[in-house]
Structure 1
Amino acid sequence: MKRLKIIRRWFSRKFGYARLICLVLLVGIAALRLADFAPIEELRVRTFDFYQRFEPRVKTTRPVTIIDIDEPSLKKLGQWPWPRTSIADMVINLANLGAVAIAFDIVFSEPDRLNPDVAAKSMRYLDELTRTRLRELPSNDQILADSLRRARVVLGETGLASVVSELDMDLPFTGFATLGDKAGAEPRFYEFPGLLRNVPPLEKVAAGRGLLTIVPERDGIVRRVPMMLRAQGQMMPSLSMELLRVISGTSTILAKYDEAGVKSLAVRGLDVPTDRNGQLWVHFARQDPSIYVSAASVLDNTAPLDKIRGKLVLIGTSAVALNDLKTTPVSAAMPGVEIHAQVLEAALTHAVLAQPSYAIAVEFLGAMVLGILVIIFAPSFGPITLVGVGAVFATLLFGSSWYFYQAHRLLIDFTYPLLSTTAIYLTLIFASFVREQRQRRQIRSAFGQYISPALVEQLAHSPEKLKLGGEEREMTIMFSDVRGFTSISESYKHDPQGLTALMNRFLTPLTDAILACKGTIDKYMGDAIMAFWNAPLDDNDHQVNACNAALDMLEKIDALNKDREIEAQNGGHVYIPINVGVGLNTGVCVVGNMGSNLRFDYSVLGDSVNLASRLEGQSKEYGFPIIAGSKTALAAKDKFAILELDFIMVKGKKEPEVIYAIAGRLDVANSAKFQTLRNLTIEMLACYRSRDWEGALASIERGRRKDEAGALNYLYKLYEARIHDYQQNPPPEDWNGAFALLTK
């Protein structure tokens, strides 16, 4: 059992169950293609339809003419069927005009209802002598048969869904000879249980006879015409194939076989390729009205000579009432007789389509090669690369298939390899999705309680970030600390659990304020918090968001203090307010996973971090809870009340820094009181830095009178002390107004 687990673990790591599933899928789709599963066949033939619609066969010659029993002919000569004598006249006229051969897309399965003997029997009030003379006249069928002897005529026969009568084996049938290996795959010839033939007098004298039946495919579209099929157990040629045999002068049709089945049907001077079941893929041209001649014009000898002489003539109908309209890839209503004409045109001009026997082998090979390549390499590619490679493969498959159609009239299916490859690709994508979701759940579970939700999601979507290393980027850093926390903690010296509860009580809203403004908590240091912005997620407004977070923190602390004061009054214990100082600074830092291979934290390092910490420490000295470096303040100056405080030299740094107080939001900034105090402060700082000590003190005095709330009291006292010191001990001549902080 243990060995089995080891093998499974090795297999999962080296190969992956997803790849195994894809291999099974590849074989399964191959089996469906071999069985020619209906949806796969539908996709294939629809693609071939698109080829023909986009680039149909272009006619170079017009060897076939259709004598059309059209609406004008029916109007002139009466309803169908016409007397066989009229059909005989038509045949004679066509022969006289030079038709090479004639084929009927019509079946004369019953004796003419206008035969003289039928008239003698059915007409009333005839005397016996007239009846006798009528019976002695030749039948209309015989007259038509006599006309058939004067031309090469192929009669149409039709397949039936059931047997209506026994075949008269004394009537002629076209013979087939075979060539090649018939031991391969057995062809599935189209088969009709029954056969409807013409009346015997016509069958006996016709030069040929073939099945005119055209059967649409499952979706009702005619794409293939059986050139060799069975009807009532008898092997039969199609009408168009029989016409080709008649004009070639051969007595039999040669069926050529290969290992797949039927390869082609041949007569003298012509080889017609078919699929393995003896069907011809019709290479359709667009409907051509120019090959139609009205039947009425043939009967009244007004038919154009150039459309008859030297042509193969098909007699059929385009009349809607006679219900012989078919759907093809290029037309929604093409007369069946024109489909026979299209077959003849394509065969005689060597423009037929073919699906060679090796086509399925090519399709299988393409599907297998591409499928295996995807299984091997797809998990290693990025999504963009994978989409690009997939697009290249799809283009190559489609381009190759189109090239074979356009240049060689070969039908090579690209949809099966593409379908197979796409199915494998989607399976791998799904497996990757499931794996990533499981990995993300693990990461969220492991880190969700310790770092910000934004960072958790970043790590969940990019697990590779869970490694040592960092990157440089501009960030805004925050340090916050509770002022006088020692006094507060002493009041809980007999209640350590209460102190813990208090810490959680004020750290929670402060944390919420930071996270709500897109910040990331770096660490908690007792009652202090370190946070940063613009990592791991990009934040174009990181300075503004940090300032908003700092002001929100003060508001939340004020609300907490009000609740605690009420609780202290109700509980009868001492109330000590919580005051928070915040330092903000913006600069380039190094951010990433810091630590050892065994344990690391996502943190930030750099001089800008140190300055933020120093500024937080100075918030008590300047009397403002939020102090910001110049980059932070200047980036946020249009959205907050910004007050310049000092120009300081931090210990350990060579360059001085202008620092500011974040005194409130826009409502404060736009107030007249703040504007007045800000202007007086600017005036005071200008005098101070120009060594005008008296002017600076005067500005401070005016500021005190305007500052009714005493918001600037700490700042004024600080500058008064400095000025008095400088009056006693003037700064050096090169003094630039910067004040060196003595402590970190």
Structure 2
Amino acid sequence: MNAGLSRLPLALLISVALLAACLALRIADPEPVARLRLSAFDTYLRAAPRQVDPSFPVRIVAIDEASLAAVGQWPWPRTRLADLVSKLVSAGAASVTFDMVFAEPDRLSPEVLLRTLMDDAGQAAAIASLGRLSSNDARLAAAIDGAPVVLGVAGNSNVTSKIAPYPGAVSFAGDDPLMFVHSFAGGVQNLPNLTKAARGIGAVNWLPSSDQVLRRIPLLVSIGGAVYPSLALEALRVGTKQSTIFIKSSGGSGVEALGQKTGIESIRVGETVLPSDGRGELWLKFAPGDPRRTISALSVLDGTVKSGDIKSRHIIIGATATGLLDLRATPLEPAVPGVEIHAQALEQMLAGDHLLRPAYATGAEIAFLIVIGALVAWLIERSGAVVAAIAGLVSIAFIILLSWLAYSRAGLLFDPVYPSLSVALLYFGVSLTSFIKSEIQRAEIRSAFGHYVAAPLVEELARNRDKLKLGGETREITLLFADVRGFSKISEGLRADELIRFVNRLFTPLTDVILGHNGTIDKFMGDAVMAFWNAPVHDANHASNACRAALAMLDRLAALNDALKAEAVAAGVPFMPVRMGIGLNTGECVVGNVGSPQRFDYSVLGDVVNVAARFEEATKTFGARIVVGERTAAQAPQFAFLELGSVTPRGKDRPENVFALLGDEIYAASEAFLDVRNAHVAFLAARQGGEPRRTEEALAACMRVAPEDMVTYYRNCASEKIAT
């Protein structure tokens, strides 16, 4: 790895990686990401749909169930449709648009019936008169001719046949719109006489999203290399008596968008300007369905419709009967008739209440993601997960609010979902990094304190780092000092490497004993070790654990001496036993990290430390291997203690009583120890009473029952090396 990268914090590297992944995913915009965005827009639309114009400038003349029941099955004879057109035009409709394509001759036309019946020669004379009647298609063309009627055409990529030229005019500024619009190789058109009679033709195509929900319609399409308007856009042109559709594409304002061809910007018909995305699509801002928008075709045909419902209205004729299966899904409804999509699109054009996803939306969302994502990552690293979570939640709330305000106030569509999810992912990703980092720190604590503290205490420290306070705190501590007797003489006969191996061999089992009894090793000082209990983790039995550890250390030392003796005998060299003095003391200390920020030790400070060291030195005077202060003895009364006398520590005026620790609670309850204790108490009483003969007899009694640890003490008392 590059040396510069290796110095960067892990959280920063992961933050950058996650942020880059989120940005790459957003730029690639796969289907799941796009669907999230669309679901947010659907939610907004359901919360605040377009308001219905109560005047209903667009009306649907529906081929509904009632019409089918009265007129007959669909498709109707085109004479019926001609009658429908005539009545609508007579009632003053601004435009009449068919949401259908009349690509084949009417099967009910007289000439079609004639060809069918002519197969039966016996009926020829009876039906010859049919040939003199006008075709149904001609009668429909006659009704359409001169009227503001728009017919539908359908682009189809599976055919290559071209359709009739667009009867209106298309003018564009900037890049050719054919570069951007949805393209079809060919199309399906109406019969030539109908096409010639119609004032306009518009594409009925729509392109739903991958979830089959219709959210946009193409305002323009390319069929066979020519531009055609959508059915709703053509209805607008014809209904407002305009001749030309104006298209503004990238570069149309005389300013290049950094040399990029960003697509179609807007489409204008007369005074109506329609915002468009780059591909010439119009986002539909649906209004709730309203039955007042729909008029039954039957009411037009039988003359029962109110003239006011038709006059100056844009009429779209289409099927709404469920059996005709012309249904589409929208963000507001799971199934609506296709004709209503065209009607709603035309209503939206007339109302001017549009939705637009601006060209800069993606860039703005990406910029927000970069800024907020970087802020959250930085806050996690600098201020912790809680502050970062608050900042992230505030940021997510801000983008949702901003997105909603943009929709509700200006009709602009900004994606609130993906940036929010990305910030959340970044937060959880970096938090996971912090968690991993915390676990690494715990592992470091285990590794570092595992050399000094018992494994259960290390685990507790790892779970609760607050128990390892920086600085110091006052706490009652039990101290242990242990020193090897005659170490200088032992080391004289050893080489440097042999001396290191000997010291390690000596202190390894002693370390195991201390740690195994919940102790903390402060330091090794040559041939001595200092340890303490009740820090950094609380230990209610610190005095007892320290006493038990001291006894176990002597047991381990005895085992080591046995091994060394066997080795000396095998090597034919003199054996020199290793002896040790141990001092224990309990009292208030300051415990914590002592040193500088660059280098510190977890240690204890206070008079109790010095007194414990003085007790260890006192083992030489008293001849006992473990000398314990009175507070330690008082907190571990179940152990086998014998009072030795008093010691005045350096810098102290008051002497402190000290005790020899001879064994644990099992030995303390034994008859052997009871004999020793009774003899020892009698000896102390005689000595304090100043009775030499009685003292001598009591001392002799003590020597008869004394354990090995006390033999030297009684001998020193007999020789008056220990003052009374």
TM-score if structure 1 supplies the norm length? 0.69
Q: Is 1:189 matched up with 2:181? A: yes
1:150 deviates by 8.2
The structure 2 residue matched to 1:345, chosen from 344, 347, 370, is: 347
1:200 deviates by 2.2
1:80 deviates by 3.5
Q: AA paired with 2:247?
A: A
SS in 2 for 1:114: coil
- C-alpha distance in structure 2 between counterparts of 1:647 and 1:296, whole Å: 122
The structure 1 residue matched to 2:141, chosen from 133, 145, 167, is: 145
Match of 2:521 in 1: 521
- C-alpha distance in structure 2 between counterparts of 1:567 and 1:104, whole Å: 111
Match of 2:106 in 1: 112
Q: Residue 586 of structure 1 contacts residue 632 of structure 1 at CA under 8 Å; is this kept in 2?
A: no
Q: Residue 624 of structure 2 contacts residue 660 of structure 2 at CA under 8 Å; is this kept in 1?
A: no
C-alpha spacing 1:392/1:278, structure 2 compared with 1 (3 Å): same
Q: Residue 543 of structure 2 contacts residue 632 of structure 2 at CA under 8 Å; is this kept in 1?
A: no
- C-alpha distance in structure 2 between counterparts of 1:18 and 1:82, whole Å: 71
Which deviates more, 338-347 or 97-106? 97-106
Which deviates more, 202-211 or 445-454? 445-454
Q: AA paired with 2:125?
A: L
- C-alpha distance in structure 2 between counterparts of 1:272 and 1:596, whole Å: 68
SS in 1 for 2:531: strand
1:188 deviates by 0.8
Q: Residue 642 of structure 2 contacts residue 661 of structure 2 at CA under 8 Å; is this kept in 1?
A: no
Match of 1:49 in 2: 42
- C-alpha distance in structure 2 between counterparts of 1:561 and 1:13, whole Å: 51
Q: Is 1:155 matched up with 2:151? A: yes
Q: Is 1:167 matched up with 2:159? A: no
Match of 1:606 in 2: 606
Q: AA paired with 1:128?
A: A
C-alpha spacing 1:692/1:449, structure 2 compared with 1 (3 Å): closer
Q: Is 1:83 matched up with 2:77? A: yes
Q: AA paired with 1:51?
A: Y
Q: Residue 163 of structure 2 contacts residue 188 of structure 2 at CA under 8 Å; is this kept in 1?
A: no
1:158 deviates by 1.1
Match of 2:224 in 1: 232
- C-alpha distance in structure 2 between counterparts of 1:664 and 1:65, whole Å: 106
Q: Is 1:512 matched up with 2:512? A: yes
Offset from partner CA, 1:473-532 (integer Å, 9 cap, x none):
13454533458744x997898678888666545533442354456654220134543234
1:139 deviates by 1.9
SS in 1 for 2:414: coil
Offset from partner CA, 1:278-335 (integer Å, 9 cap, x none):
2111123445555445555655666687765664333333556544333433444343
1:182 deviates by 0.5
C-alpha spacing 1:18/1:225, structure 2 compared with 1 (3 Å): same
Q: Residue 476 of structure 1 contacts residue 534 of structure 1 at CA under 8 Å; is this kept in 2?
A: yes
Offset from partner CA, 1:250-282 (integer Å, 9 cap, x none):
122222344544332222342221123221111
Q: Residue 472 of structure 2 contacts residue 592 of structure 2 at CA under 8 Å; is this kept in 1?
A: yes
Q: AA paired with 2:191?
A: V
- C-alpha distance in structure 2 between counterparts of 1:657 and 1:87, whole Å: 121
C-alpha spacing 1:328/1:564, structure 2 compared with 1 (3 Å): farther
Offset from partner CA, 1:379-409 (integer Å, 9 cap, x none):
9733445554444444444433322112111
Q: Residue 550 of structure 2 contacts residue 626 of structure 2 at CA under 8 Å; is this kept in 1?
A: no
Matches within 5 A, 1:416-455: none
Consecutive unaligned residues in structure 1, runs of 5 or more: 1-7, 463-468, 694-700, 729-744
C-alpha spacing 1:563/1:405, structure 2 compared with 1 (3 Å): same
The structure 2 residue matched to 1:249, chosen from 234, 241, 246, is: 241
Matches within 5 A, 1:261-410: 261-288=263-290, 291-295=293-297, 311-318=313-320, 322-359=324-361, 362-363=364-365, 366=368, 381-384=382-385, 385-410=387-412
1:92 deviates by 4.5
- C-alpha distance in structure 2 between counterparts of 1:23 and 1:566, whole Å: 60
1:235 deviates by 0.9
C-alpha spacing 1:239/1:712, structure 2 compared with 1 (3 Å): same
C-alpha spacing 1:559/1:412, structure 2 compared with 1 (3 Å): same
Q: AA paired with 2:131?
A: R
Q: Residue 60 of structure 2 contacts residue 315 of structure 2 at CA under 8 Å; is this kept in 1?
A: yes
- C-alpha distance in structure 2 between counterparts of 1:528 and 1:138, whole Å: 125
Matches within 5 A, 1:115-130: 115-123=109-117, 125=120, 127-130=123-126
Aligned residues: 672
Q: Residue 297 of structure 1 contacts residue 303 of structure 1 at CA under 8 Å; is this kept in 2?
A: yes
Q: Residue 585 of structure 1 contacts residue 611 of structure 1 at CA under 8 Å; is this kept in 2?
A: no
1:237 deviates by 0.8
Offset from partner CA, 1:635-687 (integer Å, 9 cap, x none):
x99xx98999999986646899999999999x989x9999xx9xx99xx9xxx
Match of 1:530 in 2: 530
Identity %: 34
C-alpha spacing 1:255/1:709, structure 2 compared with 1 (3 Å): farther
1:584 deviates by 5.4
Q: Residue 479 of structure 2 contacts residue 608 of structure 2 at CA under 8 Å; is this kept in 1?
A: no
1:81 deviates by 2.6
C-alpha spacing 1:565/1:446, structure 2 compared with 1 (3 Å): closer
1:67 deviates by 3.7
C-alpha spacing 1:93/1:432, structure 2 compared with 1 (3 Å): same
SS in 2 for 1:511: helix
Match of 2:694 in 1: none
1:241 deviates by 0.9
Q: Is 1:471 matched up with 2:471? A: yes
Q: Residue 476 of structure 1 contacts residue 546 of structure 1 at CA under 8 Å; is this kept in 2?
A: no
Match of 1:591 in 2: 592
- C-alpha distance in structure 2 between counterparts of 1:499 and 1:618, whole Å: 27
Match of 1:551 in 2: 548
Consecutive unaligned residues in structure 2, runs of 5 or more: 256-261, 691-697
Q: Residue 630 of structure 1 contacts residue 657 of structure 1 at CA under 8 Å; is this kept in 2?
A: no
Q: AA paired with 1:161?
A: S
SS in 1 for 2:335: strand
TM-score if structure 2 supplies the norm length? 0.70
C-alpha spacing 1:444/1:197, structure 2 compared with 1 (3 Å): same
- C-alpha distance in structure 2 between counterparts of 1:613 and 1:262, whole Å: 90
SS in 1 for 2:316: strand
- C-alpha distance in structure 2 between counterparts of 1:632 and 1:353, whole Å: 86
- C-alpha distance in structure 2 between counterparts of 1:643 and 1:287, whole Å: 96
Which deviates more, 335-344 or 622-631? 622-631
Match of 1:733 in 2: none
SS in 2 for 1:49: helix
- C-alpha distance in structure 1 between counterparts of 2:419 and 2:709, whole Å: 79
Q: AA paired with 2:104?
A: E
RMSD over aligned Cα atoms: 6.1
- C-alpha distance in structure 2 between counterparts of 1:267 and 1:594, whole Å: 82
C-alpha spacing 1:17/1:592, structure 2 compared with 1 (3 Å): closer
C-alpha spacing 1:436/1:542, structure 2 compared with 1 (3 Å): closer
- C-alpha distance in structure 2 between counterparts of 1:660 and 1:130, whole Å: 142
C-alpha spacing 1:185/1:659, structure 2 compared with 1 (3 Å): farther
